[in-house]
Amino acid sequence: MAAPRVNPLQRLWLREIGIEKTWLREPKPQVAEPAPLVPAQEPARVAAREAAAVGRPAQSPAAPAAPARSAAAAPSRAPTAEAGAAAAAARPTPPAARPAPAAARGAATPVAQESAEDRQARLRRIEAADVETLHGMVSGCTACGLCQGRRHAVFGMGAANPRWMVVGEAPGEQEDRQGLPFVGRSGQLLDAMLASVGMSRERDVFIANVIKCRPPGNRNPTPEEVAACAPYLMRQIALFKPERILVLGRFAAQTLLGTDATIGNLRGRVHHVESEGRQIPVVVSYHPAYLLRSPIEKARSWQDLRLAARG
Ligand code: URA
């Protein structure tokens, strides 16, 4: 078993995320069949309450930023200080906190009625949207009942020209409050995990969720909510054109890959999703909130990151 080489910086980050040993086995890259870029039919059924399992982030603020992509401000993919500064300058200030709507406190979410015609029209607008238009659509979306309980829809955040997209499940309480993804403890762990392979959320990745509005009580999203929301993620993938996607947690992986396979089954090989005729490599790993609860799995998640970094 060959120990992977780590440089001193990586070693520091590994220590930071709780991995002291460097005897991890290199994952053998395997290539899985391309998956359709469609949500699983019944992700909520198969996800078996991952939201409870991952326990969405416990809360502390992280780097505030929200996406904006303008030709003038878009940084190059090269990870330079200028690029990072340009990306930061391109981002609007995160939305101010709003009080929780009454519906956020109840478990039931009234279903918003989107007619078939309205859905078709919305899908056409999504297909034609640039990043800013899409951001506006997500912020004002009323396609499902989750809009009634949200403070903020969470579009995502990160680099204007990301090398990776990181895809999570849905906003938790802090994300809903701040309008940004992964801002709690699991967000801090995610940042450390990314740093362990030399990536940063501001410079290299765009972080988004399958579901843009917080499900009340962090319950699993319903198939209807996934069907309503998934087209936004698909358009984000088409617009950001990431070199690869790191998908975190069972729900997001099953939805993105259109499967009900377990994380254990999906990890350790490279999947693909098709976006505008391109096959984008997808690596599946554990949700950081799960890692906070099961730190023993951090070693495996680092293997996943290395697999993603190798592509
Ligand atoms: N968990 C997720 O999957 N996404 C977030 O944005 C926060 C927690």
pLDDT band, residue 280 (cuts 50/70/90): very high
Which atom from ligand 1 is nearest to the alpha carbon of 209?
4
Once rounded to an integer, what is the mean pLDDT over residues 155-181?
97
Q: How far apart are CA 36 and CA 273, in angstroms?
A: 6
Q: Which residues line ligand 1 (CB under 6 A)?
A: 56-57, 168-172, 175, 181-182, 186, 209
Looking at residue 12, what is its pLDDT?
A: 53
Ligand 1: distance of its center to the CA of 182 in Å?
A: 5
Domain annotation for the chain: domains and CATH numbers: 116-309 (3.40.470.10)
Output 27 or 185, whichever has higher pLDDT. Answer: 185
> Is the pTM above the cut of 0.75?
no
Averaged confidence pLDDT in the chain = 77
Looking at residue 13, what is its pLDDT?
A: 59
Bridge partners for 205 per DSSP:
164
Ligand 1: distance of its center to the CA of 1 in Å?
A: 35
Which atom from ligand 1 is nearest to the alpha carbon of 57?
8
Where is average pLDDT lowest: 34-38, 94-98, 261-265?
Answer: 34-38
Once rounded to an integer, what is the mean pLDDT over residues 92-110?
49
Percent of the chain with pLDDT over 70: 64
Ligand 1: distance of its center to the CA of 5 in Å?
A: 31
pLDDT in tens, 189-235: 999 999 999 999 999 999 999 999 999 998 999 999 999 999 999 99
- Token readout for 46 is 């198969």
pLDDT band, residue 113 (cuts 50/70/90): confident
Ligand 1: distance of its center to the CA of 216 in Å?
A: 14
H helices present in the chain, as ranges:
8-16, 43-47, 50-54, 81-90, 102-105, 116-128, 131-139, 173-178, 185-196, 223-240, 250-257, 263-266, 288-293, 298-310
Nearest CA to ligand 1 atom 6: 181
Ligand 1: distance of its center to the CA of 57 in Å?
A: 7
- Token readout for 30 is 């395997």
C-alpha dihedral (270, 274, 278, 279), degrees to nearest 10: 10
Which atom from ligand 1 is nearest to the alpha carbon of 174?
7
- Token readout for 252 is 């997001």
Which atom from ligand 1 is nearest to the alpha carbon of 181?
6
**Ligand 1: which of 56, 166, 174 to mutate, judged by most atoms within 8 Å of the beta carbon?**
56
Which atom from ligand 1 is nearest to the alpha carbon of 186?
8
Once rounded to an integer, what is the mean pLDDT over residues 280-294?
97
Ligand 1: distance of its center to the CA of 54 in Å?
A: 9
How many residues make up the chain in this entry? 311
Which atom from ligand 1 is nearest to the alpha carbon of 248?
3
Ligand 1: distance of its center to the CA of 308 in Å?
A: 20
Q: Are 303 and 25 in contact (CB under 8 A)?
A: yes
Ligand 1: distance of its center to the CA of 3 in Å?
A: 32
Nearest CA to ligand 1 atom 1: 56
Output 266 or 48, whichever has higher pLDDT. Answer: 266
| Sign for the pseudo-dihedral over CA of 283, 249, 27, 195 | positive
Looking at residue 9, what is its pLDDT?
A: 52
